[in-house]
Amino acid sequence: MIKTAIIGGTGVYDPYLLENAREVVQDTPYGSVKVICGGYKGIEIAFIPRHGEKHSVPPHLINYRANIMALKKLGVANIIGTAAVGSLHFDFKPGQFVLADQFLDFTRNRLSTFYEGGEYGVVHCDMTVPYCPELRQALVKGGEESGIKIDNGGVYVCSDGPRFETAAEIAMYKLLGGHLVGMTSVPEVCLARELGICYANISIVTNFAAGISPGVLTHSEVLEMMSSSLGNLRRILTAALKHIPDHPGCDCQRILDEPGVMK
């Protein structure tokens, strides 16, 4: 049974840690998804490159519902989503790893729920603690064992993209309590919660955001920093896998107790 999935963000397109990797095409009501499945030290893992194998899908056009539903159908109980982010504070410098614990949603026109009436009805999903604390703790332990510092906590501001933000937008996000800015964690985390899947975000700071950075922001800058961080990311993920509990005590699955939700 596949216990854990990794959704690779910008710069993470290769299921580098999988043994006996195989491609599975999983059909869902929202479209078909190619999932790479394999093992690592006896743990079954699924992998999806969020932007496609060659970064061909921009953040606002990702089929988030199909991706999350495909993993649910494969039996996945835990999702770790990697993300390249900009920093709104000098405390979070390029190269640092941060585990978001809250988000601010500034996306527009994204399909962000499975419950739109009709066949599945309407369900209002609790998002008090959107990112699973137990899955985050497993990543913290993975970092400690690897000798890599991880900051456990930060507010992820999700913008629509694919453009970078204006300096005025970043100043607003900072005033509202944001620490990181990215383009993909929402609705991914929300959809996972609707299906009772534990979800954690591990953000890799690639740059200071607009108005904080001394220069013009470029996508190549993001890719360069991600490339230099991949080795440490791999070490964190592989060390964290064995710390993910088989019987979680978190509240992530409580949505499944609600009447009318998809089981």
If phi > 0 it is left, if psi is from -120 to 50 it is alpha, else beta; for residue 11 that is: left
Evaluated on CA atoms 106, 133, 53, 233, the torsion sign reads positive
Give per-residue pLDDT as tens, 11-58.
Answer: 565 666 788 889 999 999 999 999 999 988 889 999 999 988 777 899
**What per-residue confidence (pLDDT) applies to 215?**
73
Pick 179 or 109 by higher pLDDT: 179
Instruction: Please report the pLDDT score of residue 10 as a whole number.
Output: 67
* Residue the block writes with tokens 């066949």: 119
Rounded to an integer, what distance in angstroms lies between the CA atom of residue 192 and that of residue 253?
Answer: 10
CA–CA gap between residue 142 and residue 50 (Å, rounded): 23
C-alpha distances out from residue 229 to 11, 15, 207, 224, 262, Å: 10, 16, 13, 9, 37
Q: What is the mean pLDDT of residues 160-167?
A: 93
Domains annotated for the chain, with CATH where assigned, are 4-257 (3.40.50.1580)
CB atoms within 10 A of CB 117: 7
pLDDT in tens, 77-134: 999 999 999 999 999 999 999 999 999 999 998 999 999 888 778 889 999 999 999 9
Extract the tokens encoding 65. Answer: 């519902």
Q: Shortest CA distance to 138 belongs to which of 248, 37, 12?
A: 248
Of the two residues 68 and 261, the one the predictor is more confident about is 68
* Average pLDDT over all residues of the chain: 91
Distance, CA of 135 to CA of 200 (rounded, Å): 6
pLDDT at 52: 80
Burial class (CB in 10 A: 0-12, 13-18, 19+), 88: buried
